[in-house]
Amino acid sequence: MRKIAAQLFIALDGVVEAPDQWHFPYFNEEMGAAVDATPGSADTLLLGRRTYEGFAAAWPGREEAGGEDAPFTKVLGDARKIIASRGRPDLSWRNSERITGSLAEAVTALKGEPGAGRVWISGSASVVRHLPAAGLLDELNLLVHPIAVGKGLRLFPEGEPTVPLEPLSCTPFRTGVLDLVHAPAAAPAPAGYTEARAHLPRHDTPQ
């Protein structure tokens, strides 16, 4: 069964919207390596409409220009690209197709396809937030930036069910960004202050 992995830039207050307005001051070679590693292990991209349209407006031209990022842009261009959209986006970028049924059905079908290549989701919070509760997201990579943006779309909005996760790795960058990788986890056992108190340091009263 194929694995579904997502990678997002996220601020300390959970905002994932418009990272182009706050992300780039924290981009260094560590971030570049993290961003470059994920698509190289995937042969399929699953994208929301806005992310797809942003990519399609930028990456094909950069690939054609043949600059230093041309190898990366070719990887994206050669990959199969599946777009989750209620509308009909322009699918002029090669190897692009639109989901015609429900997102859950489409992702379930993707996971069941033969092959070892992962399905990679870049950004696309509108897609990512629906997958954990359905048991369809295998890995969540959050690049947590040391900034509170204060406004904008959050990855998990208020009122949604809780999403228990298990940490797989945590890598700090020199810029203060934390590269966090999580996998789905079972919900923790119920607990309150009584259970927590057992783990507090003991301060015995002197006699």
Written as one letter, the residue type at 6 is A
- Banded model confidence at residue 207, pLDDT cuts 50, 70, 90: low
Q: Give dist(CA 154, CA 142) in Å, integer.
A: 13
| DSSP run (H or E) holding 145 | strand 139-145
pLDDT in tens, 16-41: 999 999 999 999 999 999 988 766 56
- Banded model confidence at residue 205, pLDDT cuts 50, 70, 90: low
- Banded model confidence at residue 154, pLDDT cuts 50, 70, 90: very high
pTM (2 d.p.) = 0.88
Q: Give dist(CA 52, CA 47) in Å, integer.
A: 6
- Banded model confidence at residue 174, pLDDT cuts 50, 70, 90: very high
pLDDT in tens, 38-68: 665 688 999 999 999 999 998 898 888 888 8
Q: Give dist(CA 13, CA 27) in Å, integer.
A: 19
Task: Go through the domains of the chain in sequence order and give each one's CATH number.
Answer: 4-197 (3.40.430.10)
- Banded model confidence at residue 69, pLDDT cuts 50, 70, 90: confident
Q: Give dist(CA 68, CA 32) in Å, integer.
A: 13
Orientation angle between helical segments 70-78 and 29-40, nearest 10 degrees = 30
pLDDT in tens, 131-147: 988 889 999 999 999 99
